[in-house]
Amino acid sequence: MPAKRIRKQVLLRLDPAVHDAMAQWAADELRSVNAQMEIVLRRALADAGRLPREVAPARRPGRPRKDED
């Protein structure tokens, strides 16, 4: 059974206009701002060829199923 990965917390300072734009984008896609930022960062890493192979898949939107950890 693979070890459970601990998610990292990061303090991020943003220009208020950038945050507002991310919040609107997240709302349009029915995601939290945090989830939207992770999606954007994963895409940027993949486009740059820097996304690690061992990275866990992105979480699906919505609440986790009861059988998921």
Per-residue pLDDT tens digits for 14-66 = 999 999 999 999 999 999 999 999 999 999 999 999 999 998 888 776 676 77
**Angle made by CA atoms 7, 9, 12, in degrees to the nearest 5:** 140
Residue 1 has pLDDT above 60, yes or no: no
Q: Which amino acid is at 18?
A: V
CA gap 41, 10 in Å, rounded: 13
CA gap 50, 69 in Å, rounded: 27
pLDDT of residue 35: 92
pLDDT band at residue 67 using 50, 70 and 90 as cut-offs? confident
Beta strands in the chain (DSSP E): none
Single pTM value for the model: 0.76
Tokens 């208020």, located at residue: 16
